[in-house]
Amino acid sequence: MLEQCRSGLSLSYDELLKRLRDKTKPTDQSRTWRLDLPKVNVLWLGNKTIIRNYMDFPRILRRDPSRFLMYLAKKLAVPASLDGERAILIGRRDERTITAVIEKYVNERVKCPVCGSPDTNITKEKRMEFLVCEACGGKSPIGEK
């Protein structure tokens, strides 16, 4: 073992790095991030924005539809309501803006900050909300940013 260590000292940094990568297992990115969110399907009627496939998002993210809608309404600064499978926002918002808010929601309230897994639940203790990861067991506070 000591001879192996001494022989390793003469190796260059790149060679040592290659040896390290060969000995360690590669990370499987598909395991940590496997959420495939659909494209936001928007319809405008006058001054209203209707998200036709709204219920797909809370279903895939495993979140309460009304809480998810409250988040969207707050971040987009518009009144919103549910109408069956669709959400109605008062005011014109484009798909890019809505998609950006949904991605922000995923990063703040779905994806585990420790391991990156989307398998999380939100629990409430006293007046604090925590993101609890089912994969790694991590528990992180959720706060307004």
Model confidence pLDDT, tens digit, residues 86-136:
999 999 999 999 999 999 999 999 999 888 889 999 999 988 999 999 988
d(C-alpha 43, C-alpha 95), whole Å: 10
Contacts of 138 (CB under 8 A, 6+ apart): 112, 113, 114, 115, 131, 132
Q: How confident is the model at residue 30 (pLDDT cuts 50, 70, 90)?
A: very low
Residues 51, 45: contact at Cβ < 8 Å? no
Assess whether 119 and 70 both reside in one domain: no
Residue 83: give its domain's CATH number: 3.30.30.170
**How many domains does the chain divide into?**
2
Please, what is the angle between helix 95-109 and helix 65-76, to 10°? Answer: 120
Assess whether 73 and 130 both reside in one domain: no
Query: pTM, whole model, 2 decimals?
Result: 0.73
| Residue 111 CB neighbour total at 10 angstroms | 21
